[in-house]
Amino acid sequence: MMETLEGGELCFPQLLNTSCKKSRPHSEAMLLYILTSSISLLTVALNLLVIISISHYRQLHTPTNLLLLSLAVSDFIVGLLMPGQILQIGACWLLGDFMCALFYYASFIVTSSSVGNMVLISVDRYVAICDPLRYPTKITQRRVQICVCLCWVFSAFYSSLILKDHLKQPGRYNSCAGECVVVINYIAGAVDLFVNFIGPITVIIVLYMRVFVVAVSQARAMRSHIVAVTRQRSVPVTAKKSEMKAARSLGIVVVVFLMCFCPYYYPSLAGQDTSSGASYLAFMIWLLYCNSCLNPVIYAFFYPWFRNTVKLIVTLQILQPDSCEANIL
């Protein structure tokens, strides 16, 4: 008991024999709290701007923007969950086993839905660039809405299967009071690796490679001096410049997404059990969460409509009558 007291401050001093110890000094823990809380606040604020912009302004009610809206919702939830992640990095979990299970369940849902949204975005850009003539009939608002709903329903169902044992018996993997740990065994980790990483990433890379090839060929065609007048008057067969720009911008979103997600799945690739109690994995989850803060920043750099809507929201012009009909493109 004396060793426990001398080894570090207890999370629950009244539970001398069962309480976890705080593994980080108070000053270091406070620094992590401040840093994570700041990123969380920024993530919530930026994604809320995206949600308000796309939801309010009718000019932005397009299939592609609906996918961005779904991604922004998942990123917004990540921002709300982010402060809880600091409790996994050397601090104490004070909210109980049930909230621990709920925290991980929500985290898995938004992670899975983000992956699904990225796949849907890639499919949308593939059709827009590679089959522009049939894009309006293939990618309709109704179909995108159904796909987005299915994405979220599947994410909730899939996460409940992966965390089945943890949801049935919250805290089963905790070694002491004040710990919040979930362990995914090798089989579940392998399934998750394929469903949430290898499968979707393969689809995304294949589609964007195809988009890149088509975009290069179309750029060469547009630079060609041999263009017949009759072809100019006919229905254009190349993707519009705005579509090409959107593909490039969303391609950057996908690349950043891959950079943030790849380290998270390293334990599964290495054939190890995935334990969120490990400091490495906790940091990787934190890195994964930071991706949610980067997406709106990318929008601000590449989408003029986002910068325009932010100005209207910040200056409260959004409160004016019929502001939803404003011309922001």
Beta strands in the chain (DSSP E): 183-184, 274-275
**Of how many residues is the chain composed?**
329
Lowest mean pLDDT among 5-19, 100-114, 169-183, 255-269: 5-19
Rounded-to-integer distance, Cα 114 and Cα 98, Å: 24
Amino acid at 6: E
In the chain, what are the helix, strand and coil shares in percent, each to the nearest 5? 75, 0, 25
Q: Is 224 helix (H, G, I), strand (E, B) or coil?
A: coil
Residue 237: the pLDDT is 43
Q: In which region does residue 303 sit, left (phi positive, over 0), alpha (psi from -120 to 50) or beta (all else)?
A: beta
Stated pTM of the model:
0.80
Backbone angles phi, psi at 119, to 5 degrees: -65, -45
pLDDT for 181 beyond 50: yes
Sequence ranges of the domains in the chain: 24-325
Residue 217 has pLDDT above 50, yes or no: yes
Dist. CA 267–CA 32, nearest whole Å: 24
Query: Domain 24-325, what fold?
Result: Rhopdopsin 7-helix transmembrane proteins (1.20.1070)
Hey, what are 142's tokens?
């109704």
Q: Cα(257)–Cα(287) distance, rounded to whole angstroms?
A: 10
User: Beta partners for 265?
Assistant: none
Most confident of 66-70, 184-188, 208-212: 66-70
Where residue 244 falls among pLDDT bands split at 50, 70, 90?
A: low
Tens of pLDDT, residue by residue over 266-324, are 655 655 555 544 455 556 666 777 778 887 888 767 788 888 898 999 898 888 888 88
3 state SS of 93: coil
30-34, 54-58, 89-93, 271-275 — most confident range: 54-58
Query: Which of 167, 250, 155, 147 lies closest to 207, judged by CA?
Result: 250
> Hey, what are 185's tokens?
């065994």
* Three-class SS state of 53: helix
Q: What is the DSSP letter of 317?
A: G
Angle at 123 between CA 119 and CA 129, to 5 degrees: 140
Q: From residue 292, how far is each of 124, 253, 257, 262 by CA, in Å?
A: 20, 10, 9, 15
Secondary structure of residue 10 in the 3-state scheme: strand
- Cβ 275 vs Cβ 181: under 8 Å: yes
